[in-house]
Each structure stands twice: as structure tokens, then as C-alpha cells.
Structure 1
Amino acid sequence: MNKFLPTSTAGSLPKPSWLAQPETLWSAWRLADQDLAEGRQDALSLSLHEQDLAGIDIVSDGEQTRQHFVTTFIEHLNGVDFEKRETVRIRDRYDASVPSVVDAVSRSRPVFVDDARFLRQQTRKPIKWALPGPMTMVDTLYDNHYKSREKLAWEFAGILNEEARELVAAGVDIIQFDEPAFNVFFDEVNDWGIAALERASAGLTCETAVHICYGYGIEANTDWKESLGSEWRQYEAIFPRLQRSHLDMVSLECHNSRVPMDLIELIRGKKVMVGAIDVASRSVETAEEVARTLRNALRFVDADKLYPSTNCGMAPLPRDVARGKLKALSAGAALVRAELTGNQAA
């Protein structure tokens, strides 16, 4: 792995057409039963190959074994009824039909551990595995049992910790918790959201990260972004508390966003995954565009703590566009890396 500016992805990569509908977020599987199990592993291997070809340093499963970044995990838990659905407001942004919590939630078996073990067998590179964060899980369900977002989040935090510990034992090097809800519910984040996240990551022997983005490039998210004004300062409300947490890394959205880069100073000391690829655009960035974002970030974070990444997941993008963006990420990081090593040599 590159010592400076190791590259990674924040989330999903496009699935092959034989597994799911192309360019469709959260598409239903096109296979079933044993064919699906084998197909997901084949897709995982293909995703790893494409990351290797692009020169990605820290690889992931690209969410090839998941239909949805939150509910696929929840599907395997007790206490949630997927037949009993209610319409709720997701991220205070759009309405969606979601499953209901009808009883105490619990985890009776591992969810992603076999997939992680399979990926570990395919590569010697560091592996980053994403799990939904407790607050985002709560915000993706209708709670008809606990009647308290905080209580449900703490229950999910304990379950996530069980899963994360087994993922580490299976060979995962970085556990990333996806918390897009952190960009919306600021009072809850500071009151109990970060504490619940620390519970989910307690005692892990791997590195831990939290991914806080502005969402996929879907209409509801792009419309919301347009309403946020000339500067997106949501991170400012939560970074001070997050800086005091025991999380190792923070993954944030930067390229083509209106996030003031100097907000990174609020999490000084943390490793920062800087989103240098815009997943809401089908235009493939040039290496110089990526490098420009990284150089800007280096004004506020030390080089040994900067990890170039994507803004969010790329599942809805055409595969050739996603491949191009991954290559641009690696090429842009290589440009800045060469500048850094050249400066050191001088």
C-alpha cells in the first residue's frame, strides 16, 4: 500500500448486469437461492479485480453482496418485520416505505462475515468493510416497539459491535460505519449519535471510520443540496464532538461540493478520507481535478493522514464511468504523491 495518500472507495460500485439492473440504486436481485450466493461471490471477485486494475490501495466489497447499504443488514436481524411497512420521512428529505420494528432487535447469526472471509482470501491488500451506523439504521425504519430513536440506536450499536468484531476476526482491516443521518440531525448526533457509534466500534482491534456524505446522486439528494446555499456547513455542527471520539477516520464529501475545506481543521488529528470523486456526475474527473482537491485538503490535514476516496457510492453509475472515476482517483493521488516525495527529496 502506498505510504502517502492511499486510495479507497467510500461505498458501492456498479453491479454486473447479470446480478442486478444496471444503473439502478437498490435494484432487486436477478438471481435466487444458490445461484444468487454464487453470483454475489463472482461479482465480489470482479469488483476486486476492477479495483486492482484501477490501482486502488484499500479495497472493499463494493457492496456487491448487498442490495441496500442499510436494510440488507437489518434483514438478518430479529425483531424487524419487512412485511409490515410504514411510510416515514428519510433523512428529513423524502418519503419511503420501510420495515417496522415490532419486537426487541437481536442478531442470531453473522451477516457479512462469510463474504468478508471470501474477500480476504482473494487479496493481500488492506480491506475496508462498511456497516450502517446506528442512527442511519434508526432513520431507515418505523419503530413500533422501543418508541425511542435513542434506545433503538443503542440496541443496534451493540449488534453492530458483535458483527464488527467477527469481521475483524475474518481479516478486515478497517470498519467503516455509514452515517449520512449525521448531516441532518445535529442535536441528536451530539446528544447520543456519536456515543452510539462509539459503542458500535468499542474494543475493535482494526481501524475505524465514519462516512458522512450528502447522499447518492439521486434527485431527492441533489434537490436538497441545491437548497443548502453557497456553503455546506453541516459538518461544522458535529466535527468538534467527533474530533473527541475514539473513531480513527472521518470520510467526507469534498469534490464538486460546497463544503468549505477548512472545516477539516475541526477534526485535526483524525485520518481523513477526502471525497475527491463526484458520484452525482457521469463526467469522469481528470487526474488534475482530483489532484487539485487533494492539494486543497493538504492545507488542513497532514499528508500521512489523508486518504483519497469517492464522495459516496457509485452503484447508479454506468460501469465504464465508475471504472474511469476509479482510475482518475488513483492517477490524481499519484500526481500529488509524486509532488510530496519530490519535495521531501529536495
Structure 2
Amino acid sequence: MKTHILGYPRIGSKRELKHACEKYWSGRISKDELLEEGRKIRESNWRAQLDAGLDFSPVNDFSFYDQVLDMIVMIGAVPGRYQEIIDKDSKAPGLDVYFAMARGKQENGIDIPAMEMTKWFDTNYHYIVPEFVQDQKFQLNAEKILSELEETKKLGVNPKPVIIGPVSMLLLGKEKENDFDKFELLSELLPVYRKLIHKLRENGIEWIQVDEPYLVTDLSEEEKEAYRSSYSELTKELDGIKLMLTTYFDDVSKNIDLVSSLPSHGLHIDLSRAPDQLDVILGKWPKEKCLSLGVVNGRNIWKNNIENSLALIKNASGQWDDDKLFIATSCSLLHVPYDLRLEKKLSSEIRDWLSFAQQKLQEVVFLKQAFLDPGKVQEELDANKTSIQSRLESKVLHQPKVRDRVAKLTSDDYKRGSEFAIRKKLQKEMLGLPMFPTTTIGSFPQTKEVRKWRSRFKRNKVSVEEYEKFILEETKQAIRKQENIGLDVLVHGEFERNDMVEYFGEQLDGFTFTRYAWVQSYGSRCVKPPIIFGDISRPKPMTVDWTTKAQNMTDRPVKGMLTGPVTILQWSFVRDDQPRSETATQIALAIRDEVSDLESAGVKIIQVDEPALREGLPLSKENRKQYLDWAIDCFRLATSSVKDETQIHTHMCYSEFNDIIEHIALMDADVITIECSRSQMELLDAFIQFRYPNDIGPGVYDIHSPRVPSIKEVTVLLEKALEVLAPDQLWVNPDCGLKTRKWEETEKSLLAMVDAANEVRNRGSV
């Protein structure tokens, strides 16, 4: 019986990679210094796995930005627009081209936009979307993975290279030309994969982890055939090297007949997300092949229930030879923080319930020990059982008043007073906004000075009065800048907020927080998810003070900015002792109270962001309706207490809407803003077939790239939007919040956006 994990966090235990990348991008460190920081992180990660006693350690799970982007480079699928900046003497794109693909490049007369980015299945991790064109050629660039294998030899690591499989790689990407099917490229792509496998075999590799997460989704016949033909071709002349087909995030049993027919040597299944699939797999997966049991949750931070995990392992062992079984994490540990030992200030009670990446390594190895010789570790088994039970029985989990309030909800609590057409007329009269009103999504640049003051305040280095005076001045400057730029609807800038979820969680009962529990969202962007351990309620108003102060600084409307219940749920580590829908409903009631207080304070526009609504959609279609029903209900519960004159906005980013557009309409927000610029308004295709009834603000420039759009560029996107939307539906805004940008590029970009809106107004495009 072997032990392994599918991947490890790569940002460094204290975000060393984030800081190194940002220093490199700003020219403060050299390329060699950045590469050295990456090497140190890899070595630290492998040593942790060696010390834990894992039988195999993943290689190629480290990335300077994104693992899909790494695969794009590895298979030679770099889009043509980057060719002009590729060093003609090099065999593969260098680091600067790599980062240009992720972030765009705008300097010395060069202006190249970044590649599109979207969510990695149902997680908050964002990946770079591959681009495919007809007659595309591929070539192998294996330097990264081979050099990392060399590093493992010096450490004594037993390496297991990790690659994204060819079918999932195509499914992750998009065709950039009409009348073209990306599966036509398989005949060109598969030889590159075979060359890679050959090189890995030459390096003495025993197992390759081939990630094929799409195997848990509802596959078309074309996609099934792509799997059959691909793996028939890939497994020719393997000469001893073995392929572990790796699935996660859902149940693969629906496709087990297909998977069993593929000529691979092993299969990994996610038993944390879908434990009931095991019996089906055991009945159909060939007994001569290996089976990897993902029993340690790679997506959440709760201590493993050893008793439950051992039951699954024993079930498999009863029908399988132990030497063909692997014990593993359910998915890559990319989605959890590094090490619980860093958290010195957590309460001892809650700390005892938790497990981060470092501890999950130990849980994987311990499960093997406990299965093979439980008598030797009986004391540890008893301690685990006691810890699990103490959490379930803890008094800090339950608030009777919260549960009573949920039980008394009625259908009227989920409905606005009047239909949208009536509300829109009243809101137009009250707000007096022009055609194509301009606004931003919420946050403004969190400068080094802002972060420094917040850090000093948290460490009690400045008083409450001094800190609030500083934040008030930053807010005042942001209001003046927005007025000078010419925006129609303003925001207060959110300078007092650390993160759009953490900020609210800090003020809600039922949450706890960490100091170093960072996880990667994309590139150098890291988030520190709150931990929801108990029932949720709002002791007092959370945003009213700063919003009303900002509104008093200007005659233009200032939006109240809130995070929605589903997003707070999705972007937290959520309690697993009750259905997620129950937790979301409790959050919705807390946000409802805040919405009501903002309205009472005179705020006329309230934005309740739900960027994670699409992210939470189950991968299996059969489970989607149930999720969407309660997710939409939670948004409506949070926002339906206001008068018709109060305008409710929501924001969603990096999501495909085609399959849920009707449910988005059911949210009944007066205005929805969405990410659209990287896809060149492609996401608006969803609105062609379905006539969305309310107002829409499709993002007109990409805030995740430092490049500044031209007026013409924004105008073209607005004209594209008007091909799909009615003029009186269209709002003008960036893709997302501006927290991560610098003021100089932000002001230039917003000026271009406002000028473009004025240009379209003046053309009479109405």
C-alpha cells in the first residue's frame, strides 16, 4: 500500500512566492533571484513530504503563476500574438513571455493583452484559458519538468510527475476561430504527450499522475471518443512507466465504464467529495489495476475523521490487493493553507479541530499505519475520535436564536415589492442617471501606505482615532478622483477592508480567523479564507458608517458595498456538520440586516456581490437544480427587504453564464455587472438566446492586467455589447474591483472608460 498527494501549496508558507513575483515585475529583483526563490519553495515542500514519510511526491505541481499556463508552454500552445516578444534564439518562451501571457504587456511600444482567465471547476482558483486555432502546431518544451526532476534526485525524493491530460487540456481551452472543433487537434497534440512520456521514462519515472478532472463531468459522445482514442495512442510502448488517471471534485462512477476501458494503470478517485462512488468503482474497476483512494480532504481544513476514512480503506482492501491500493488526498493541497503550527492565536478548542497541508501529509501516512497495524497507534486513534466528537458537541457551534429565525422564514421574505419594470422607473426618477451610466465594481487601489496603516493598526501601533482619520482622508481622495474622472455612480473605495469576505467574517459571529492561512487565488493574488465553525449572526452594522461618510462627501450616489451569502460561503472554509444551504441561509439573514440598515441610512444603491455563484455550481448536472434553488433564494433573502426605489446591484466575474442565465435572472437584481473584456464580450452570447430582463454592466476592461486600455478599445467593446443589449440596459464598468491595481493605471483606465461611454452617448447609439 502506497501513500501520495496530488499537489502541494506553492506560494510559500508566508507568501514568499507572491512577494518575489511582485518584486520581479516591478524590477526590484533579478530573474535569477526569482528563480532561486522558486527553487527554495520546491525544496521546502519536498522536504516536508519526505519528513512525513510519503511514498511518492508530486513534481511539476509548482508554478510561478498557474499550472495550466505551464502546460500551455510545455505543449507549445503559445498564442501567436506573443511571438513578437519571444527571444528568437531560445527554444521556448522565457519567463517574461510567460508572465505576459498571464498579465499582458504594455511597454516600449508593445501592447499585448493577457490571455483569458476563468475559475478552476468549482474552486476559487483561477486558471489561464488555453487558446486553440485551426491547424495549430504543438511542440514539446519539457525543460521545466525535467529540471525539477533533477532537483528531486539531489534530495532523495521519489518523484511522481504531474501533468494535465490531453483531453482535459483541450476541454479547458477555447477555439479562437469559428467553424472549428478543438478535438481536431488531437492528432497533432498526442505526439507531443508521447514525447513527454518518453522523456519521463528516460528519467526512471515509475508513475505519472495524469490529471483528467473532466472525467467526473457529463461527457458528450465526442468527448468520450476523444478519451478512447487519446489513451489508446498514449499508452503505446510505455515500457514500464505507469499512468495514474486522476479525477477529483466529483463522482467518476457515472463514467466508470469509459474509464475502465482506457488502457491506464491506475485511477484516483475523490472520496471526500463523493464517498458513495466507492462501491460502484470497486465493482467495475479492473482488479489488476491500481486504485488511489482520496480520503483526506484537499479542499477544507477540518481534521480527518480517521474512523470514517479507515472504513473506506477497509472496504477497498476487502476486494483489492493491498499492493495495488494508494492512500491519498482527495485533490491537490493547493486549496488549503500550509501549516497549522503557524497559527499561534487560534483558540485551542478550534485549533484542535483543524488540519492544514502539513498536517494532511501526516494524516495520509497515519491512515496507512492505522490500517496496517491499528494496535500500534491506538492512542492516536482514540485522540482523533475524541477530537471529532468534541467538535460536534461543542456549545460554540449553535445559536438557538439564529436557528429559530431561519425556521420562521416565509415565501414573502424572498420577494421584492414590485416587478423590475416598475422599480426601474422609480429608480430612474430618483437617481437621474444618464444613458450608459458609468461606475466601478467597488474597491480602489490598496496602496502600500494603506496596507502599512492597516498592519500598524492591527498591531496596536496607532490608535483607532489615528487610523480612522487616515482612512477618511483616503476615502475623501477617492471620491474626488472619481468626480474628476467623471463617474456617475461612485464607491467609497473600501480602504478599511482587507478582503471582501474576510472583512465581513471578522464582524459576524460564527467565524474565526488565521494569520498565515493564505491560499492562492491566481498568480500572486492570495486570499485568507475565514473559517466558519458555527451558527452565523450579525451583532451590529458592518458598513453603514463608512458608506454614509462617503455619501456625505458628494452629491453623486455612492454605492453601499456588500459581499453576498453564497460568495461568503464559497470563499470560506465551511463547517461540514450541516448542509451548506443552511449555513448560506444564516449568512443571507446577516446580510439582509445590513442591507436594511444601509437603506435606512439613506443609501440609494446597494451592491451585493456574488462572484462565486457560478463557481459553486456542482459539476454533475443532476445536482445543479438543488444548488441553484437555494443559492438564488439566499441572494433574494439578502436583498428583498428594500423599497422599490432602492437599486440593488450584484457583480459576478470569471464565469460562464450560458447554462444558468435563467437562474441569474431569477436573482432579480436591478443591475448585474459581469467580467467580459478578456473574452471580448463573448460571455454576452448567453444573453442572445435569453432576453435578460434587467440592466447589465459587461466589464469593458481587464483589471487583472496592468495595461491601460485605449478609448477605441473600450468603445469597440461597448458597441459589441449594444449588438446584444438594449441601450437602456447597458451600464459601463471595469471587469472587477481595482484593489490590486496602482492609482496611475487606474485613473488612466477609468478616464478611457468614461470617454468611451461619452463617445457612444454622443454617437446617438440609442
Q: Match for residue 686 of structure 2? A: 263
Given that 1:59 and 1:125 are in contact with CA atoms closer than 8 Å, whether structure 2 keeps it comes out as: yes
Conserved 8 A contact 1:239-1:267 = no
CA shift for structure 1 position 177: 1.6
SS in structure 2 at match of 1:257: coil
Q: 2: distance between equivalents of 1:180 and 1:269?
A: 20
Q: Label 1:8 to 1:29 Cα distance change in 2 as closer, same or farther (>3 A).
A: farther
**1:315 paired to 2:739:** yes
CA offset at residue 106 of structure 1?
0.9
SS at 1:142 equivalent:
coil
1:190-269 equivalences in 2 (<5 Å) = 190-205=628-643, 206-214=646-654, 234-257=656-679, 259-265=682-688, 266=690, 268-269=692-693
Q: Secondary structure at the match of 2:533?
A: strand
The code of the aligned residue for 1:211 comes to H
Most deviating of 263-272 and 64-73 = 263-272
Which SS does the other structure have where 2:725 is aligned?
coil
Percentage of identical aligned residues: 25
Equivalent of 1:51 in 482, 489, 500 = 482
DSSP 3-state at the match of 2:657 = helix
Summarize the Cα distance change of 1:247–1:189 in structure 2 as closer, same or farther, 3 Å threshold. Answer: farther
Residue 95 of structure 1: how far off its partner (Å): 8.9
Structure-2 separation of matches of 1:296 and 1:255: 11
Greater displacement, 239-248 / 47-56 = 239-248
Q: How many Å separate the matches in 2 of 1:153 and 1:198?
A: 12
Structure 1 gaps of 5+ residues are 22-26, 215-231
State TM-score, norm by structure 2.
Answer: 0.39
Offset at residue 267 of structure 1 (A): 5.2
1:297 corresponds to 2:728: no
Q: Tell me the CA shift for residue 153 of structure 1.
A: 0.5
More displaced stretch, 101-110 vs 28-37: 28-37
Is contact 2:635–2:667 with CA below 8 Å preserved after alignment?
A: no
Equivalent residues of 1:18, 1:30 under 8 A apart: no
The answer (yes or no) to whether the contact 1:86–1:100 under 8 Å persists in 2 is no
What is the CA RMSD across the aligned residues, in angstroms? 2.5
2: CA distance between counterparts of 1:84 and 1:65? 18
Task: Please give the alpha-carbon distance, in whole angstroms, between the structure 2 residues aligned to 1:38 and 1:89.
Answer: 32
CA distance in 1, matches of 2:450, 2:520: 30
Partner of 1:24: none
Q: Please name the residue that 1:65 is paired with.
A: 496
| In 1: Cα distance, 2:674 partner to 2:763 partner | 23
Q: Deviations over 1:285-335 (max 9, x none)?
A: 111111111111111211112110010011111110001111111001000
- Structure with the bigger RCO (C-alpha within 8 Å, sep 6+) is 1
Q: Distance in 2 between matches of 1:96 and 1:325?
A: 25
Q: Which amino acid in structure 2 is aligned with residue 321 of structure 1?
A: E
- Greater Rg, structure 1 or structure 2? 2
Which of 156, 168, 181 lines up with 2:599 in the alignment? 168
Count of aligned residue pairs for this structure pair: 317
Is the 1:86–1:142 contact (alpha carbons within 8 Å) kept by the matching residues of 2? no
CA contact (8 A) 2:518 2:526 kept: yes
Matched residues in 1 for 2:713 and 2:740: separation? Answer: 22
Counterpart residue identity of residue 149, structure 1: R
- 1:243-268 Cα shifts (integer Å, max 9, x gaps): 13322111111122253323234352
- Output the CA distance in 2 between the equivalents of 1:268 and 1:209: 15
Structure 1 or 2: more helix by fraction? 2
In the TM superposition, residue 129 of structure 1 has moved relative to its aligned partner by 2.1
Local SS of the residue matching 1:122: coil
Aligned counterpart for 2:753 among listed residues 329, 333, 344: 329
**Within 2, Cα distance between the matches of 1:144 and 1:256?**
35
Deviations 1:50-86 (A, max 9, x none): 1111111000112222111111011011121225997
> Given the alignment, which residue of 535, 541, 553 partners 1:104?
535
The answer for the alignment partner of 2:46 in structure 1 is: none
Measured at CA, do residues 90 and 323 of structure 1 come closer, stay the same or move farther in structure 2, by a change above 3 Å?
A: closer
CA gap 1:59/1:171 in 2 versus in 1, 3 angstroms? same
